[in-house]
Structure formats: structure tokens, C-alpha cells
Amino acid sequence: MIIFGVDPGLTRCGVGVIEAGIGRRLSFIHVDVIRSDPHTSQDLRLLTIFDGLTSKMDRFKPDAVSIERVFAQSNRNTVLGTAQAAGLAMLAAAQRGVPVALHTPTEAKLAISGNGKADKPQVERMVAAVLGLNALPTPADAADALSIAICHALRPQGALQGGEREQHLTTAQRQWAIATQRAQRRGGVRGGM
């Protein structure tokens, strides 16, 4: 399964492509950042991001698109641009009939490191380790896109429903499933898809 991860942004939109094989074995395929010029009008910036996303989706033909869920920040303009870029990724996927999943940064950190509060350097090191990279992916947008793709590949499916499925979860997946269930009971985080 080819997973196309997106760290949405209007100035820098991270894209990470991985393959999830048998036994959830993960392989690195591609990482890049699509950039738009902040001195250009917003409509042209959005077009640049959309064209970059569609070009990469056509090139890599993903089976799933995993996008970082937009969360509230104090800077309204940043949230707006991030939400617009996320919407473009969803549109590009929908046009190609590719399913979309949204994952929060906390879910991605928890899935890759077992710690939902992991800092960026820790996440970058884990991304490199999980994918067998010789160097840390840069810039941060690229590492975040790969972590969102990894999150989708490692997400617990039917986790903690007992039996065989539970036995095949990693420690990080089990912790993620428990945290997600607790949050859902409190009316908090909702899982992707």
C-alpha cells in the first residue's frame, strides 16, 4: 500500500510517500516540500500548492492520503492557509478516488514514538529510524509529512477489541489505542478516516 502523507501549509506543504508492506514493514519512497511565494496573491499560491499535490499524486499513485488535521493556533492567518492547503490535498485525492484520513499531530507522535508529546527532533529521529534513512528528513515539513504517512500505516485497526488483533499491536499502537479510546469517551480526539 502506497501512503501519501501531507503536512499542509500555504508557504511550505510537506509531502512524504511511503510503502506499507506485509507485516506493516515500511519503506521510504519520496519526500519533498511544495513551496509557494508569500509575495504572490493567495489564489496563485493555492494553485501552486494544488498543482504540486496533483503532480505528485499522479506520479506516485497512492492507495491512501493521510493529512495532518488542522488544529487551532493563535495566528488566524496561519490556520486559514493550513486549512486551505489541507482542503486542496483532500480535493486532489477525491478527484483520483483515493481515500483520505486525517490525523492530529499528537496521534502521529504517539504512533511513531509512543509519546504524544514528543518534540520535533525526537519525531525526526524516529522517522529516520523507522524508514531506515541515513539522515534526518529536512526541512521539518518533510519530516512531518512522513510522520503523518507512518501514522496512517501504523494506526491501530480494530485495536483493543481482544483476540488476535490486539496481539499484533506494537507497544506504541496499544498506547495510542488506549489514549484514543479515553479521549473518545471524554468527547475529545476522533480517529482518522
Rg (CA), the chain: 16
- SS3 state at 64: strand
Catalytic residue among 32, 51, 63, 68: 68
Count other C-beta atoms under 10 Å from residue 45's C-beta. Answer: 20
Count other C-beta atoms under 10 Å from residue 105's C-beta. Answer: 18
Question: Which residues are registered as beta bridge partners of 16?
Answer: 5, 31
Catalytic annotation present for 68: yes
Q: Is 164 annotated as a binding residue?
A: no
- Under 8 Å between Cβ of 13 and 32: no
Q: Is 68 annotated as a binding residue?
A: yes
Grid look-up 520535533 returns: 120
Catalytic residue among 107, 124, 141, 144: 141
| Angle, in degrees to the nearest 10, between helices 120-131 and 140-154 | 60
Binding site for Mg(2+): residue ranges? 7, 68, 141
Binding site: residue ranges? 7, 68, 141
Catalytic residues: 7, 68, 141
